[in-house]
Chain A
Amino acid sequence: MKKQNNTPRKTAPENASPARHVLRRLRIVAAFASILIALAAFIDFRDLVPNHLKHVYTSAQFVPSVLTFATAFHATALACLLILALTFAFGRVYCSVICPLGILQDVISRISAKIRRKPPYKLPAKKAHNTLRHAILAATLLAIVAGWGGVALAWLDPYSHFGRFASTLFRPLAVVANNIAATVANALGHPAAIPQVNVSFAAAGALLPPLLIFIAVAIMAAKRGRLWCNTVCPVGTLLGLVSRRALWRVSIDKTACVKCGDCLRACKAQCIDLRAAEIDFSRCVACYDCISVCDEGGVKYRWHGVSARREPRGISNRNSQIPNSIARPPSRANRRAFISTAMAGTLATVGATALLASRGIAQNGGRQGKGPKGPGQHGQGHGRGRDFSKLDNPEVVAPPGAQSVARILSQCTACQLCVSACPSHVLEPAFLEYGNLAGLMKPRLNFDKSFCNFDCTVCSDVCPDGTILHLARDAKHTTRIGLAHTAHPRCIIVKDGTACGACAEHCPTGALQMKKPPGHADAVPVVDPRYCIGCGACQYACPVTPKAIVISGIAKHETAEKLVQEQVAPTTTDDFAF
């Protein structure tokens, strides 16, 4: 695409070697691999991608890693330190090859350029929106300190934005495509080759926010390259503050630069000021297109050390007519940036401490969705009473391993990885089920749609930010996330006097048994709350509407007892029985 309209120039100097393309090509390969893994992780409707890969890739993302670092000190928590170190050394490599939202914007820019038959960027240099971006970063950090981190991070973390796009927008389209292929395969007599997959669209309330944000991101990417990353994204701003003084920076070699403007037109961050021959490295997203495009060898990746100087040490400025200090006196904007850097640093420290503290609060069952509800209240609502409030207005059910509703609200970034990885599709993005906007799009179990598989621990295997903590299979078997409540007058057995037992049939723990209580002609489902874990199999299987058995969530998860029964007595005779 580059330079179709340029007239051939005088022979390029020898410092414009083919090696100048290497960094850009490496970046493209790495970014391509990264977004492929990201898309595969979220669109994987056949459960073919290993959960381990999903977890490792996503937990290496910046915000999930910071959250793990602040709350769980898991090994993956080191990723954020590594990203900070990389940024301090080389600039915003995270934004160019790791962040799937960043790469997605590059893809959108490319596609839009193809449609408009224009070179991808060709954007004028623009000043940074420093006030705005520093304000957003500061607001994010303040929100964390104030205990609103669960909302701020969910709606500003770039990785989580990508997750929501991929899971709620791209994935259903992929499933529809699969099902068209499956219909064709079935018609050709090979139904086993491509099985049908049941499409699950998010409810409108949970579909709209990511759709609107996707449209905003796409328009910004198509029109202005990485404007989102350099204005809205607090991760981009934070890493920009670090990369401003990176050890190696992309900068213009004034001895070689002929001011042709090729680099400027190739820059997706609009951060090359050609008049001053300077690159705002805080906005540079390390794509290396400028190095690649420059025939003169005028853009170089060089060691600058820790100095604030924009020219690398040891390079003489003889050809430069004006000394640096005069060409670029410290402006007011610069001073402001410096102050916000200092402020951000302080806030980051305070923020991390606050997160640590909020973990304590969460575990003590603080801030809850629909008001406090102490343990030991369950066991009610079983049997013949007419109080069906638990069935008509059940409490929200958080995934096993999350430990409490409070942890979902304060820590989960609603990235949808658990939702898209859930093999039984019982997890879905909540709308207002958590009782407030902090719970928007966070995972909840919908037992009218499916139920939580007894032996499955996938959500806890993939969760990247330490919200759904890893559960061993044995621990999962006794993790109580809710409790079954029955309304016998609604039960088909009582109403119609016919056999059913679909609920007991599905119960994995033996908590639900068909028993004949006094006053009943037939055996009806009776829940022993000691063994019930709230998996929802009974509610899912119940054939009547409204359901005669419903799970109500418990705000702080508990440990259920395990039903231990004696071995079934063997038949006493060695007979055939008939």
Chain B
Amino acid sequence: MNTRRDFIKKGLVAGATAAALPSLGNLVAADAPASGGVPDLITVKGEDRVAMLDRALEAFGGIGAFVKKGQKIVIKPNIGWDKPPELCANTHPDIVARLVTLCLGAGASEVSVFDNTCDQWDKSYKTSGIADAARAAGARVLPANNDSYYRDIEIPGGVSIKKVKVHTAVLDSDVFINVPVLKHHGGATMTACMKNLMGIVSKADQRSYHRNGLHQCIADILSFKKPDLNILDAFSPMKRNGPKGVTVADLDTSVKQLLISRDIVAIDAAASRIMGHKRDIEHVRIAAEAGHGRNNLGELKIERVRMTA
């Protein structure tokens, strides 16, 4: 069992090792090294999103822990808005492109990328930089602008929603990777991993979420499906005027984190702390109570990694 002293000692040792081996270059000082086994949640603080993603996946044993040869992968970033990457209203395209490359490298037969956007879909795909980056990395960038790309599914465990149309890419894939960006949200208080799943349902369903209790609906979809992997881009979270944002002044550029977890509730609970909320956001609390994941951060095995240049 780790005492705080061990914790600091190990951290110092690791830091010293890294400092002593400058030839290793882009190395890592771990505040809390994983003492064996896979963490429930890892967060990496650094300067480069791609290096942070690689480092975070390493803690889980690399992308191979999630993606097997011949599998179909679907990646769901946040491409909600017709905004360029520097405004951080969408997931950063570098992260999406790197994920595509990693999945294909792990032998995935097919990697699809889509989002049911809020702004006009083709403009959002383009301006976000995600469509071009994902395509260049070898992904199929799929449209989601029309009901014909969705199929009806039942949610027997749903409280407020019993039936939704879900994008076929999610229904027909073996592995579902959720890659949102962390932002303030005028309606849902915060948008992170759970809120991002509103982009897998049809436009009519998105509207019905807003009519039938947003937080409950956001939690309900988890009864149907939970992503196999959640990767949260919290490099420069939007702290106000979200989720669209007005200018770069809305961004907190000091955060520089990237979070990964299999547990969508745990990662959103952690995200709400980054956004400055002492208590969990309502949909996180509802999801935890429904048993979709754990929000008791104190009892989770969390790995915190600080990357130095």
A residues apposed to B, CB below 8 Å:
47, 182-183, 186, 191-192, 195-198, 423-424, 450, 453-456, 492, 496, 498-502, 504-510, 513-514, 541, 543-544, 563, 565-571, 576-578
Please indicate the chain B residues that have their CB under 8 angstroms from the CB of A568 in the complex: 239-240, 249-252
Task: Tell me the residues in window 100-140 of chain B with beta carbons closer than 8 Å to chain A beta carbons.
Answer: 118-120, 122-123, 127, 140
The answer to whether B244 and A196 have CB atoms under 8 Å apart is no
12 CB-based A-B contacts, threshold 8 Å: A191-B149, A196-B145, A196-B149, A453-B123, A456-B123, A498-B215, A501-B187, A505-B185, A510-B246, A565-B247, A567-B249, A576-B45
Cβ A453 vs Cβ B45 within 8 A:
no
Shortest Cβ gap from B281 to chain A (Å): 10
Which of B16-24, B55-63, B204-212 binds A?
B204-212
Q: Given the known A-B contacts A186-B149, A195-B145, are A47 and B122 also in contact in the complex, defined by CB atoms under 8 Å?
A: yes
Q: How far is the CB of B293 from chain A (nearest CB, A)?
A: 15
**Chain A residues within an 8 Å CB radius of B119:** 453
B148 — which chain A residues lie within 8 A by C-beta?
182-183, 186, 196
- Nearest-neighbour CB distance to chain A for B166, whole angstroms, equals 15
Whether A504 and B187, one on each chain, are in contact in the complex, defined by CB atoms closer than 8 angstroms, is yes
Beyond A498-B214, A499-B213, whether A423 also contacts B186 by CB under 8 A is no
B35 within 8 A of A: no
Please give the distance in Å from B86's CB to the nearest CB on chain A: 14
Query: Ordered nearest first, which 5 A-B pairs have the shortest CB separation?
Result: A501-B187, A570-B254, A504-B186, A196-B146, A578-B273
B149 and A423 contacting across the interface, CB-CB below 8 Å: no
Whether the pair B145, A500 counts as a contact (CB closer than 8 A) is no
- Contact between A543 and B208, CB atoms less than 8 A apart: yes
Instruction: Answer whether residue B233 sits at the interface, using C-beta atoms and an 8 A cutoff.
Output: no
Interface residues as binary, B198-240 with A (CB distance below 8 Å gives 1, 0 otherwise): 0000000001101111110000000000000000000000011
B residues with CB within 8 A of A: 31, 43, 45, 82, 118-120, 122-123, 127, 140-143, 145-146, 148-149, 168, 185-189, 207-208, 210-215, 239-244, 246-247, 249-255, 257, 269-270, 273-274, 276, 282, 297, 302, 304
Question: What separation, in Å, do the CA atoms of A501 and B185 have in the docked complex?
Answer: 8
Q: A496-B213, A565-B250 are in contact. List 13 more A-B contacts (CB 8 A).
A: A191-B149, A195-B143, A196-B143, A453-B123, A501-B186, A510-B246, A565-B246, A571-B252, A576-B257, A577-B270, A578-B269, A578-B270, A578-B274
Using CB atoms, name the residue of chain B closest to A544: B211
Complex Cα distance, B166 from A350, in Å, reads 63
Contacts between the two chains (Cβ within 8 Å), count: 131
Give CA–CA (A544, B241) in the complex, Å: 22
Q: Are A576 and B214 in contact (CB under 8 A)?
A: no
CA distance A499 to B286 in the complex (A): 14
Q: Once bound together, how far apart are the Cα atoms of A543 and B208, in whole Å?
A: 7
Which of A450, A570, A577 has most chain B Cβ within 10 Å?
A577
Q: In the assembled complex, which residues on chain B have CB atoms less than 8 Å from the CB atom of A499?
A: 187-189, 213-215, 282
Residues of B within 8 A of A492 (CB): 210-211
Point out which of B208, B249, B251, B269 has the most chain A C-beta atoms below 10 A from its C-beta.
B249
If A453-B120, A565-B246 touch, whether A498 touches B43 (CB-CB below 8 Å) is: no
- From B45, B120, B244, give the contact of A424 (CB < 8 A): B120
> Using Cβ atoms and an 8 Å threshold, which residues of chain A touch B250?
565, 568
Query: In whole angstroms, how far apart are the Cα atoms of A423 and B186 in the complex?
Result: 26
